[in-house]
Amino acid sequence: MKFARKVWKLLVGVKDAMALLFLLMFFGLIYAALTARPMAGRVEDGALLLNLDGSIVEEKSESNPLALLSGQAPTREFEARDIERALRLAAGDDRVKAVVIDMSRFLGGRYTHLHDIGEAIDEVRKSGKPVLAFANVYADDATLLAAHASEVWVDPMGSAFVTGPGGNYLFYKGLLDRFKVNAHVYRVGTYKSFVEPYIRTGFSPEAKKDLEGTYGALWDAYRADIAKARPKARLDEMTRDPAAFLKASGGDLAQVAKASGLVDRIGDKTEFDARITKLVGEDTSGSTRGSGKDEIPYAHTSLATWLAANPVKAQGAAIGVITIAGDIVDGDAGPGEAGGDRIARLLDDNIDEGMKALVVRIDSPGGSVMASERIRRAIWRYRERKIPVVVSMANYAASGGYWVSTPGQRVFAEPGTITGSIGVFAVVTSFEKTLADYGVTSDGVRTTPLSGQPDLFGGFTPEVEGLLQGSVENAYRQFLQVVGKARSKTPEQVDGIAQGRVWPGMEAQKIGLVDEIGNLDTALAYAAKVGGVGNGKWHAEYLKDRESSLSAVLNEMLGDTQSDQAAYDFASLISIRQHQQAQQIMARIDALTGTRGMQAYCLECAVEPEAAPRAKASGDWSIMQMLARLTGWK
């Protein structure tokens, strides 16, 4: 036995030593990866290749290592301003003979970003350089981007179609009633439609009217963009009666796309690559691999290499830019989400850095009232320091997104911007009726009407109901006062254009919620002017946390990772949209059951063709999981 124990101790010692050795090797590799500085690739004389295998966003979210551990690669994201800058640089660089936009795995973007990128593509074409686009299937967002190209290619088995903004929302009142879940809704705003799916079986007339106005404005802007880029496109004819248009074109989806004027040439990827090779020459660098897995035969430079070779030059005075993108939430969330504490800290940490002005870039549908006010106060501290504050609205700056815009001395929006939605709500669920069906009841003793309240399982007292509604009404009054002070209006005047109603950019300018129509570049130039830069040089300095080394390495790793959400035909595109809709449904359910306070959030901000949602949890959601979340059994 003694001998056996000694052998066992020896084996355990060997095992521990090997485990320690492997751990040291593992952490050594991690350290090497984190400290390594990847060398920028060489710019080739040939094509600038924009391989858009992901979604276009205002601000990239930080890579989550847990997503890789779960076996699911995060969706790639491209910041819109990076693509715009790359295109404008390409227009004036003789090394770039053509621009190639590969949207085989494009997961979408929102209208304002695509509109601005389209204008950058126009600059490339004005410089005399061809821009060629390829995809298997073009949906609304890809069609809008490709419309600006000089040659648009589609696979012979592919298609191009435009559905237009709009569609149905799910309403949960019947489901909640069936499971006897009590949704307590407290709101101010006739048009504050975010809560209607929980208390109605369909939209109220006021909310539907608001949606129709928003849809109409976006559709008009979209059609105008297509008509300007492709005057001969038969978009109206195609969308008015798609079945008849398909029949008249012989039933071949690719031929329909060409007949509509949205596509110029039909050919597969091999034929497309051959066309590019003819224009720019063969790849002679010895490296024929692009940002994806397919071999690329033509001389090219990838987007990442191009940006690395052309870093932003920090010359002259600094114009600070703080980005408020995504849902506004309490805490340190982000980037990709607008964590109130994180953004306020960024603003406070940089207030003494000598910036001539601050531009607040907003692309948010709103969120937490408390976080919105925390951000607003941090921005206002710049005004107190006599630093000019200018606001630039992207796709949306609604509800809490408008709240944080109020310190701006000048507010810029784009024609496709959705703003306003000035209203407040809170939603809390209780399950006293659900539990009663299973024989569970409650009883107790209160010293005050608020003792033990709010009771999610025993029900709410009238006093707590009144308290919650009163707190929402008070927050709304504060919202009106903040907006009134910013826009030189009385609270009563603001209330007349508030009540949760949303406004497209041009309409918002007419009613005084916005000062001027213009993009981010326009806002930056104005900020430099009011900041006293004069004719001197200046640069935009984006206020952001230093990217963690691990996140940087993950982003490098993801650079060669292709999304498995590629649309190879019409049916696969439908499958992708179905997956996205399921994630959106879960986001709505989380809004109902999540532990949140008062919200200033905009439902209408989801009316545009949706980019891939940023799911907070990996994996698919089943109907049973949705029901479980709704009924509180998590």
Positions annotated as catalytic residues are 192, 399
In three state form, how does the secondary structure of 95-139 look? Answer: CEEEEEEECCCCCECCHHHHHHHHHHHHHHHHCCCCEEEEEEEEC
DSSP 566-625: ---SHHHHHHHHHHHHHHHHHHHHHHHHS----EEE-SGGG-SPPPPP--SS-S---HHH
DSSP H stretches of helix in 179-266: 196-199, 205-229, 235-240, 242-248, 253-259
Among 20, 170, 163, which residue's Cα sits nearest to residue 627?
170
Using left for φ > 0, alpha for ψ between -120 and 50, and beta otherwise, residue 500 falls in left
In three state form, how does the secondary structure of 510-534 look? Answer: HCCCCCEECCHHHHHHHHHHHCCCC
Task: Say if residue 476 is exposed, middle or buried (CB neighbours under 10 Å; 0-12, 13-18, 19+).
Answer: buried
- Structural contact between residues 235 and 257, judged by C-beta atoms closer than 8 angstroms: no
- Structural contact between residues 367 and 599, judged by C-beta atoms closer than 8 angstroms: yes
- Structural contact between residues 61 and 615, judged by C-beta atoms closer than 8 angstroms: no
- Structural contact between residues 269 and 134, judged by C-beta atoms closer than 8 angstroms: yes
In 267-388, at which residue ranges do the beta strands (DSSP E only) sit? 300-302, 317-325, 328-329, 338-339, 357-364, 366-368
